[in-house]
Chain A
């Protein structure tokens, strides 16, 4: 029991709820969402902006097909990164480095494209599989740095993964300002635009559909891993208690290495979806914080891979809405980021309310 408050009206107690149904859980989440939007609306209103109009723009994103498609496109890197994070978080490995792992995935994909276009090393049909492989490996390796530090030296992973985000961004800056700059780009810090065979548009020629397919495949893979495989079981035991895992004869260090690698690898593929699906080339700031949004998505989805897909489309929609708000109402883009964070905070509070109930005891009931 977290606390008891004594007031003149009686005792206010907070009690753990013994169990609750799925319907109750979902309705509490929706309620939290509604409260979050209300808070966001109040902030907008207090600055003299019209919250109703703003929400019309936001929800309009999910109604209009072209904007919905854009939202799905935006959701793909979020979804893949969040799927990776689900693995890490199940392992109680606080990978805050999805952003950096996304950038490493972008670097790997771009590297393959450049190798082909400068040296013609590969067949065109082999490019996309190679890009997938390379982005998975490099993203995984980036996360593996923190994983190895934890497994070998006991360094807590939170700060190293965070620091590596900044390092990864600077690597991209270095590359596009230097060796990878497009010679025909008028000196702008951009890589060459990707040729068609390096783009994610196999399904109906549309990156959103191709990406959605990628997301679903990723979710299925994560689901299978965690529910039906030995390494998945080991990841979950390690996440619950490394001491029990050791007792059960699980090789904890190896599991941490594997889990962190897979986690980063999925984010790496997310990076591929940015350069091949959304932008079509590498540039600095290619991710407007997808990796951080992915943390919210993974947490809000309760690490359930299928819910991750839905939640990332919602957050992708909010990102799209950010742009629409600026265009139509002159509300700065950061508003979308702020609303995201408010939703995150409110749903966390909702988690608390789900787990506990507040009881008011009238005086005289006890102690008499």
Chain B
């Protein structure tokens, strides 16, 4: 089989990080090639180099056997390379058609809308997609947006397709349809590179797999000749123990009670559509589901960041519906937001400022007007010690911290109870997303510890493994509703998947 892409000895350094360390990689015509590795293993960097977004510090790139120099995506596109990024690169306010033809170099300056529309519809039908070229991107679901991204590439006749974590935003059904389309593309003689950290998907769709760890390629194998367990060991570099955590505590009184809650999303229609839930003290309630199904809006409503349009939120029996974030904090709600590096900290502020982002306004750290920096500094030093935030000093800027340390800082602020005792309710939205194994374990340990101390915890995650590991009960969320709540004894991946897809069938 013809080799489409060959990368030899690629090295890419970022300040303080060796992202790619003499990486070799090969893609053949007609194959789906999985690129497997943990977050931060250097997969995306490698592919950004192949797409001309980054320039390698060392190494050579061969496309169809010819050595090439990729200065920009334009070079890559003209060589038939296309990439679907993890965060879609679409212009939300433009139409599907405008996004697809963006940057096309054809004769004439004028856009021939009619002929483009026809050709796009034809192309989409070939892969079993139904999509209106005149629809605006913001009106589309995540799955449809991904189809637009693929159409963008295919419309340019690309043969080398790179997909970066394509399934993270998809439902089970959408994932299945994507895999079918990818298989068809491979059958047409294209080469597909599929970046992922999910072992199941590697086994399901790929012909070959390359495993990366800490910037290096560990191995490349035929998928048929390997197993999930073996791949997991290559990926993490040590034996992985899949086991449940047992806790001694018993759930206590009801901390949070939500009744028929409806919350408006950013697009102006209900993202949470009639949710009722109960969380007891000393209990972890897992919330499973594909992201973008109302989980964040639910969390934000509980944290006081979104006003519910209907329904009630009771905290320890007190009606807290519609209270603002400040009030919720005072009622003992801790919120670990998704994408902590954006919403959870002020990057330009010092660590001490970030630790006291909420507590600064309560005694003993301030009186009516003045701040007491001496107290705050003292407490901040204790906290970075206790939560293991690695930093030269509390005066360093938060932006100088690594992702794992940022999450530790957020946890220190939210959980340490500097406002007044351990939090009654902890809402953790994707707290381990993007973290390495060590930092993930730290977060898990911490949540377990607070559970035993009697906090009620809502734990939102996409990762079934960790949900099964930590939760006492698991609520399955999709389309803004709770599709079922499973006790830990009866919960397993299949049942959860079934609840998600039943909902999808009902909705679709």
Contact = CB atoms under 8 A, between A and B. Distances in A.
In-complex A–B contact (CB below 8 Å): yes
Contacts of B57: 366
A237 B360 CA distance: 12
A4 B370 contact: no
Interface in B336-373: 337, 343-349, 353, 357-358, 360-361, 366, 369-371, 373
A249 B346 contact: no
Interface string A210-250: 00000000000000000011110100110011011011111
B393 to A, nearest CB: 14
Interface stretch (B210-218, B320-328, B454-462, B481-489): B320-328
A366 B370 CA distance: 55
Interface in A177-218: none
Given A243-B343, A366-B57, A229 B357 contact: no
Nearest to A229: B369
Contact of B325 (A16, A240, A246): A246
7 contacts: A229-B371, A240-B349, A247-B325, A247-B344, A251-B326, A366-B57, A367-B58
B211 to A, nearest CB: 26
Interface size class of B (residues with CB under 8 A): 35 or more
B325 A229 contact: no
Contacts of A229: 369-371
A50 interface: no
Given A240-B346, A240-B349, A230 B328 contact: no
Interface of A: 4, 6, 16, 18, 228-231, 233, 236-237, 240-241, 243-244, 246-251, 366-368
Given A228-B373, A249-B325, A244 B346 contact: yes
B58 A248 contact: no
B58 A366 contact: yes
A4 B344 CA distance: 33
Interface string B369-391: 11101000000000000000000
A256 to B, nearest CB: 15
Nearest to B347: A240
Nearest to A19: B400
Contact of A230 (B56, B346, B348, B366): B366
B69 A237 contact: no
A244 B324 contact: no
A237 B371 contact: no
B28 interface: no
A248 B325 contact: yes
B348 to A, nearest CB: 6
B349 to A, nearest CB: 7
Interface in B313-333: 324-329
A116 B303 CA distance: 55
Contacts of B71: 6
Contacts of B328: 249
A247 B335 contact: yes
Contacts of B371: 228-230, 233
A367 B56 contact: yes
Given A228-B370, A230-B361, A244-B345, 8 more contacts: A244-B346, A246-B305, A247-B303, A247-B343, A249-B324, A249-B326, A251-B324, A251-B326
Contacts of A243: 343
A350 B366 CA distance: 39
B243 interface: no
Contact of A244 (B303, B357, B370): B357
Most chain B CB within 10 A, of A6, A231, A366, is at: A366
A6 B55 CA distance: 12
Contacts of B438: none
Kindly list the 7 A-B residue pairs having the minimum CB-CB distance in the complex, ordered from nearest: A249-B326, A249-B325, A248-B357, A240-B346, A249-B329, A248-B358, A229-B369
Contact of B305 (A6, A241, A247): A247
A243 B343 CA distance: 7
Contacts of B55: 4, 366
Contacts of B345: 244
Interface string B286-306: 000000000000000001110
